[in-house]
Amino acid sequence: MLSQAGDNGSSTLTYQTQNNVQTEEYRISFFRPTTQRALVNRNLTIKLFILWAVAIFGFQVLLKVFEKPVQEDALVRFTPAWNNVLSGQAGEQDYQAAGQSMVQAMGKSTLSSAQFEALQDGVGWMLSNVLSDGELTDLQREVQAVNSRREQITTLHDSEYVAAKQVVIARAAPALGIGTGTLLAQLLSVGLSNNMAGISEENKQKIPEIMQLFMTHNRSFLTDTVVLGFPFHYFYTAVLLLIFFIVLCWYYCYRIDRLHARLNFLERTD
CA atoms of 14 and 187, how far apart (whole Å) = 74
Mean pLDDT, residues 119-135 taken together: 93
CA 132 → CA 30, 61, 74, 112, 227, distances in Å? 79, 54, 26, 31, 49
pLDDT at 266 over 70: no
Q: What average pLDDT is seen over the chain?
A: 86
Looking at residue 154, what is its pLDDT?
84
Closest CA to 176 of 74, 87, 89, 88: 74
Identify which of 207, 211, 204, 139 has the alpha carbon closest to the alpha carbon of residue 174. Answer: 139
pLDDT, tens digit, for every residue of 11-21? 444 444 444 44
Q: Which residues contact 119 (CB under 8 A, 6 or more apart)?
A: 102, 103, 105, 106, 111, 191, 207, 210
Q: What is the pLDDT of residues 68-113, one digit of tens each?
A: 999 999 999 999 999 999 999 999 999 999 999 999 999 898 999 9
Q: Is the pLDDT of residue 222 over 90?
A: yes
Identify the residue with better confidence: 254 or 30.
254
* Amino acid 190: pLDDT: 84
Q: Among 47, 44, 55, 53, which residue's Cα sits nearest to residue 241? A: 55
Q: Is the pLDDT of residue 3 over 70?
A: no
Task: List 219's β-bridge partners, or say none.
Answer: 68
Of 3-7, 121-125, 201-205, the one with minimum mean pLDDT is 3-7
* pLDDT (0 to 100) of residue 197: 73
The DSSP secondary structure of 13-80, one letter per residue, reads EEEE-SS-EEEEEEE--SSS--SHHHHHHHHHHHHHHHHHHIIIIIHHHHHHHH-EEEE-HHHHHHHH
176 three-state secondary structure: coil
At residue 15, the pLDDT reads 41
pTM of the full predicted structure?
0.69
Q: Is residue 187 within 8 Å of residue 179, measured between CB atoms?
A: no
> How large a percentage of the chain has pLDDT more than 90?
64
Cβ(149)–Cβ(160) below 8 Å = yes
191 or 24, higher pLDDT? 191
Alpha-carbon separation of residue 35 from 6, 40, 174, 178, 261 (angstroms): 19, 9, 78, 73, 15
Output the pLDDT for position 5: 44
Residue 15 to residues 1, 27, 139, 157: CA-CA distances in angstroms? 6, 17, 89, 75
**CB-CB contact of 72 with 217 (8 Å):** yes
**pLDDT value at residue 27:** 62
Q: Under 8 Å CB-to-CB from 184, ≥6 apart: which residues?
A: 100, 103, 104, 173, 178
Beta pairing partners, 68 = 219
Q: Which residues contact 73 (CB under 8 A, 6 or more apart)?
A: none
| Domain residue spans of the chain | 1-29, 33-67+220-270, 72-219
Instruction: Encode pLDDT of 60-71 as tens digits.
Output: 999 999 999 999
